[in-house]
Amino acid sequence: MKILVFGGTGKIGAAVAWDLVREDSVEAVGLVSRSPDALQRTKQWIGSEKVVLHPGDVAGGGVRKVLADYDVVVNALPDRRTSYRAAHQAIEHGVHVVDMLEEYHRRPDPYETEGLELPPGMTAEEYGEWLHEQALRNEVTFLDGIGFAPGISNITVGEGIRKLDRARSAVARVGGIPEKAAAARHPLRYMVTWAFDHVLREYMIKVQVKKNGRVVEVDALTDRETFPFRQFGVNETLECAITPGMPSFIYTRPELGDFAEKTIRWPGHYAAVDVLRECGLLDLDPVRLDGMAVVPREFLARLLTPRLQPRPGERDVCVMWNTVLGTKAGRQARVDYYLWDEADPVTGISSMARVTGFAAAIGARFVGAGKIRGRGIVPPEDAITSELYPEFIADLARRGIAVREVESSS
């Protein structure tokens, strides 16, 4: 199979390509970027002749012609505008799509749309349904939101629901954090592993969750928890708060009475974010400064991003604790899923790139091999069925990413 990666020179896209070229079933991996120099550097780092370079923009006509040469497109793009544009093009050309953005493209997030371009006369929700219908019509599988969260989180919670006779509630707790020593050296006890302006967006929007059987909107960063993590030989205290990391779940699992996704951070992170928000530094309304219009959040992101970059030798960690509650065989039951992954010092691939990029690469191979047969926009919890789940988890394990399942009853 041949797989094209949009955003293939970024940290996550390059990890997707690095993983794909090591699979015998993958004949070629195309990389798309506006920078020819970045493409050459990425190909040299990957170290494989399977890599094919395509200089150009997602919106460029030349890139559209390239689509015909590939079986699957992977979108490793940082915002909604480019993600939807790339997906739209691939669907039009009948090419399968894999995307890892925390967006359920069938129900576009209406908040802070990042320049999403809607066809004339369409609402965001109508556009999402139109994309789904176009994919069905062109027999395209759009594997939507497969990385870490969304992705591994959706797949494990989906499996937990299947294990119970009746699932009552679920909460996913997922996050990328600096290793503990590095956290103490950075503002907010945080280190950039993704686009920081995108992280700030997640902290400021409304989030749909399930409460008492109803879909309700709540502010991001509410319903905070502090909890111990005691798995894989790790003994740490962490915190988490509601964020929009698994948007498909409220639509695909209506049987759940309660559901929320939360982002994990080191203790103290969210209190520091509260101070920034209270000071107006996360606002999007411009303020005048020396005759110029300055957007506080954009200014803050530019100011903090260099200070949040990993220093030499610093590594990141990805952590997950997901819980599904319900009944099984007439008894109260729960299923917990745990993950603790660290950056690879040998390859230099960050943990966030590993759990996000490798999961997307596995998904792309599954789509290309016809193992995921659903058409239209298919979220991970539906794509990775009970039959495929063991293979997906085994593929992660082969890459050193361990997911631990603990089932209990009372």
The alpha carbon of residue 387 and the mean position of all alpha carbons in its chain are separated, in whole angstroms, by 23
Rounded to whole angstroms, how far apart are CA atoms 9 and 76?
A: 9
In a domain? residue 67: yes
> Which pLDDT does position 140 carry in this prediction?
99
Q: 147-169: per-residue pLDDT in tens?
A: 999 999 999 999 999 999 999 99
Classify residue 201: in a domain, yes or no. Answer: no
Distance of alpha carbon 312 from alpha carbon 303, whole angstroms: 20
Comparing CA positions, the residue from 145, 193, 135 lying closest to residue 349 is: 193
In a domain, 59, yes or no: yes
Cβ atoms of 328 and 164 within 8 Å: the answer is: yes
154 within a domain of the structure (yes/no): no
Nearest Cα neighbor of 337 from 239, 234, 407, 390 is 407
**CB neighbour burial string for 280-305, b if at least 16 within 10 angstroms, e if fewer:** ebbeeeeeeeeeeeeebbeebbeebe
At 19, the amino acid letter reads D
Whether residue 25 lies inside any domain: the answer is yes
Mean pLDDT for the stretch of residues 79-106: 93
43 neighbors 31 (Cβ within 8 angstroms): yes
Q: Which domain holds residue 75?
A: 2-144
Residues 6+ apart with CB under 8 A from 283: 295, 296, 297
* 150: preceding bond cis by omega (within 30 degrees): yes
Q: What is the CATH number for 14?
A: 3.40.50.720
Round to whole Å and give the CA distance between 342 and 181: 13
Give mean pLDDT, residues 179-204. Answer: 91
Q: How far apart are CA 172 and CA 338, in angstroms?
A: 10
- Rounded CA separation 408/410 (Å): 7
What is the domain count for the chain? 1
Banded model confidence at residue 180, pLDDT cuts 50, 70, 90 = very high
Tokens of 34: 């506006």
Q: Is the dihedral of CA 234, 237, 243, 248 positive or negative?
A: positive
Residue 176 is predicted with a pLDDT of: 97
**Residue 249 in contact with residue 154, Cβ under 8 Å?**
yes
- Distance CA(300)–CA(383), nearest Å, equals 38
Determine whether 163 is exposed, middle or buried from the number of CB atoms within 10 Å of its CB (0-12, 13-18, 19+).
middle
Report how far residue 265's alpha carbon sits from residue 285's, in angstroms, rounded to the nearest whole number.
Answer: 27
For residue 61, the model assigns a pLDDT of 64
d(CA 373, CA 376): 10
Quick one: DSSP state of residue 208?
E
Residue type, 373: R
CB 218 within 8 A of CB 242: yes
| pTM assigned to the model | 0.95
Residue 112 lies in a domain: yes
Is the Cβ–Cβ distance between 232 and 338 less than 8 Å? yes
Give the pLDDT mean for 113-137: 92
The half-sphere exposure of 303 on its side-chain side, counting CA atoms within 13 A, is 11
What is the pLDDT, as a whole number, of residue 60? 64
Say whether pLDDT at 396 is over 90.
yes
Flag whether 121 is in a domain. Answer: yes
80 falls within a domain: yes
- Give the integer Cα–Cα distance in Å for 199 and 111: 14
Distance from C-alpha of 34 to C-alpha of 179, rounded to nearest angstrom: 33
Q: Which residue has the tokens 């460029």?
A: 60
Half-sphere exposure of 319 (CA within 13 A, CB side): 25
Chain segment 208-264, per-residue pLDDT in tens: 999 999 999 999 999 999 999 999 999 999 999 999 989 999 999 999 999 999 999
Could you read off the pLDDT of 256-302 as tens digits, one per residue? 999 999 999 999 999 999 999 999 999 999 999 999 999 999 999 99
- Angle subtended by helix axes 269-278 and 196-204, to nearest 10: 80
What type of residue sits at position 50?
A: K
